[in-house]
Amino acid sequence: MTNTDDVELTSRSSLLRVVEETDSTWTRAASSWLYVVPWGMRRTLRWVRECYRDPPIYITENGFSDASGTLDDQVRVDFFRRYINEVLKAICLDGCDVRAYTAWSLLDNFEWSIGFTERFGLHQVDFADPRRPRTAKTSATFYRDLVRRNGFQPAAKL
């Protein structure tokens, strides 16, 4: 067993005494640190409920980065569908008090460490044009419809 008192605490992970692990099967976004692990959202929400006596939870940003900036961003639609489904499971099956979920981000923007090279937005921004025109991506339509319906489209009856 390692004595962690002798470990130099130089990173956030070491300060929290957290071991960071990834699985090679997890989908990665354009951001090197961002893996797609929807079940982890539900697990984290359940952990917060159990450890902190069921506080209200506000998810203020959850999103997926890409480097292509494509308008038909089906991978982002799938990301939101899968993550929001796990949030719904945490609410309906686990009793978590989730009061809000906000997609990151409304617009492609400047990311502090990588500038304009990765895009999180539901709307594409043309940074080469001084007027910065915005164009809705497929994910913007998906998210708009989800919010408008206050949930997923009911499954078709066969």
3-state SS, residue 101: strand
Which residue intervals of 53-114 are DSSP H helices? 74-92
Model pLDDT for residues 62-121, shown as the tens digit of each residue: 999 999 889 999 999 999 999 999 999 999 999 999 999 999 999 998 888 888 889 999
Nearest to 101 by CA among 131, 79, 116: 79
Chain position carrying tokens 């038909």: 72
Backbone phi and psi for residue 89, each to the nearest 5 degrees, phi listed first? -60, -40
Residue 100 is predicted with a pLDDT of 96
Is the peptide bond prior to 105 cis by the omega test (within 30 degrees of 0)? yes
Query: For a pLDDT cut of 90, what percent of the chain falls above it?
Result: 72
Phi-psi region of 95 (alpha: psi -120 to 50; beta: other; left: phi over 0): left
CA distance 32 to 72: 22
Q: What is the pTM of this model?
A: 0.84
Residue 14 binned pLDDT confidence (cut-offs 50, 70, 90): low
In this prediction, residue 158 carries a pLDDT of 60
